[in-house]
Amino acid sequence: QVQLVESGGGLVKPGGSLRLFCAASGFTFSDYYMSWIRQAPGKGLEWVSDISSSGSTIYYADSVKGRVTVSRDNAKNSLDLQMNSLRVEDTAIYYCARARGYSGYGHPGWFDPWGQGTLVTVSS
């Protein structure tokens, strides 16, 4: 079955860096856009980034642009999120998700399925 497993979360000080990982299985990874979405504790969902199936097209939310880099390795069925200059407000569960469909302007439509998430805590 389709499975996404995130890892790499943890406690980091403000200004620090962290790299998140997402291992995909059960589908042809190289055929799909992939996305990162986060959820601050007790809060709603916030889209973070999309990366095209080849990795050639990448989109970021303004809240993370310039501080975050998404990449993928289709040979290893893996998705990464490198986060630098972390802020307290980046504290959240980070989910990777397979993106489906088409919304417009080259962006994917919806997210299905989602991984179980990995918690990033930014605190001094």
Partner 1 sequence: QSVLTQPPSVSGAPGQRLTISCTGSSSNIGAGFDVHWYQQLPGTAPKLLIYANSNRPSGVPDRFSGSKSGTSASLVITGLQAEDESDYYCQSYDSSLSGSVFGGGTKLTVL
Residues that bind partner 1 (CB under 8 A): 35, 37, 44-47, 50, 59-62, 95, 100-101, 103-105, 107, 109-117
CB-wise, 23 or 45, nearer to partner 1? 45
Terminal alpha carbon distance of the chain:
40
Sheet-wide strand order for 78-83: 3-7, 18-25, 78-83, 68-73
CB 91 within 8 A of CB 98: no
Both tokens of residue 3?
């499975």
CB-wise, 13 or 65, nearer to partner 1? 65
Shortest distance in whole angstroms from residue 16 CB to partner 1: 25
Shortest distance in whole angstroms from residue 56 CB to partner 1: 17
Shortest distance in whole angstroms from residue 96 CB to partner 1: 10
State which amino acid sits at residue 113: P
CB-wise, 4 or 86, nearer to partner 1? 4
